Amino acid sequence: MAGTVTHDPPPAAGGRQGGPLIVTEDTELLDDLLRLCAAAGATPEVHHGVPERRGSWEAAPLVLVGDDAARRVRGAARRRGVVLVGRDQDDSGVWRRAVEIGAEHVLMLPDGEQWLVDRIADVAEGVGRPALTVGVIGGRGGAGASTLACALAVTSAREGLRTLLVDADPLGGGLDVLLGGETAEGLRWPAFASSRGRVGGGALEESLPELHALRVLSWDRGDRIAVPPQAVRAVLAAARRRGGTVVVDLPRRIDDGVAEVLSQLDVGVLVVPAELRAVAAAGRVASAVGMVLRDLRVAVRGPYPPGLDDREVARLLGLPLVGEVPVEPGLSRPDQGTAPPGTTPRGPLARFCREFWERALVEAGTA
């Protein structure tokens, strides 16, 4: 059981932080807390009461106070990130003791173990602002969504942002191929099919292929393996905790796994060729996506028939306009050894992507 006194999380800074501070004399409780810290990849500092070393209490990213030690820390300076940990589910006095020491949360073991592991792992990873997460989806088949997703990711990495490109379409052939890295070492989606609970953000990043200064989570060339929605949720949540940007290439069909991705997106970009049939198809895609994703915008690809331009396409779909996706010669012929999308810094596609990130990062308050 995890009870909440207040909901404000402790402040977190970018980069890796120290482990939590544990205050208890209960040896059984200490053993449990040390086990949970080990599971979260954190090394704690342990004391029987308020640490004598100046600043130790105040500086710890998280303080775990055993119920046996509540009286001994009653006079300590009030701070955020204090959790009172006990075992007696029927002890109504634990809430009074939590208020006396300024605890934000009351947690009872063993019921609250997973919550506590997640919280310890957060401080161990130094969780700060989550990644700006952008999904790209085609309004119809062959719209160029994968090309734009790759170009956005390559441009983000070139601008110095930690970047992860996620291929959410198991039938798309693999974004690692589009980036010229189908033989690069690293894990693909099937390796994460059994993931449950929390996936470590740092471990995820280090396990994936690195191509063009970004990490890529794609599919292999083996038999298709279904990745359960809970695994998709765990992997994408880990990616977002690392900060920077995450770009997801989405399929046009919406299943439970894709719905999990959509629920974690900040912005969706619907790529629509300037054709009336494509606009009609894109309208159906937008209707399905819009049931989960609130911020969906349209990027239009020319050439334009008479009477149709990018603004008219956006008006017909009732979506905000990102702009016109420029045509970059050679991108449609990857078999002839052309550069992956967005890798030419002065190319029109790279300029489009750079302007997109400039606007999106300002809107997200990260620039």
Same-domain check for residues 90 and 204: no
Number of domains in the chain: 2
Same-domain check for residues 91 and 137: no
- Tell me which of 125, 160, 180 is where a domain ends: 125
Residue 266 Cα distances to 136, 193, 236, 248, angstroms: 11, 24, 13, 11
Say yes or no to pLDDT of 11 above 80: no
Same-domain check for residues 138 and 184: yes
139 in helix, strand or coil?
Answer: coil
Say yes or no to pLDDT of 15 above 70: no
Same-domain check for residues 148 and 68: no
Give dist(CA 364, CA 209) in Å, integer. 28
Q: What is the pLDDT of residue 194?
A: 83
- Give Cα 97 distance to the centre of its chain: 36
Residue 244 phi/psi, 5° resolution?
80, -130
- Tell me which of 60, 91, 125 is where a domain ends: 125
Same-domain check for residues 270 and 341: yes
Same-domain check for residues 354 and 225: yes
Give tens-digit pLDDT for 64-111: 999 999 999 999 999 989 999 999 888 889 999 999 999 999 999 999
- Residue 176's domain comprises 132-364
- Nearest C-alpha neighbor of 109 from the set 81, 131, 87: 87
Same-domain check for residues 112 and 170: no
Quote the tokens at residue 294. 């609130």
Q: Are strands 21-23 and 2-4 parallel, antiparallel or unpaired?
A: unpaired
pTM for this model (two decimals): 0.74
* Contact status, residue 304 vs residue 324, Cβ threshold 8 Å: no
What burial class does residue 144 get, using C-beta atoms within 10 Å of its C-beta: 0-12 exposed, 13-18 middle, 19+ buried?
buried
Q: What is the pLDDT of residue 128?
A: 67
Q: Which residue type does 95 have?
A: W
Residue 321's domain is classified under what CATH number?
3.40.50.300
Give tens-digit pLDDT for 270-324: 999 999 999 999 999 999 999 999 899 999 999 999 989 999 999 999 999 999 9
Residue 209 Cα distances to 49, 134, 171, 188, 315, angstroms: 46, 20, 20, 8, 40
Same-domain check for residues 118 and 169: no
Q: What is the pLDDT of residue 333?
A: 45
Is the torsion defined by CA of 129, 65, 20, 231 positive or negative?
negative
Residue 14's domain is classified under what CATH number?
3.40.50.2300
Give tens-digit pLDDT for 264-283: 999 999 999 999 999 999 99
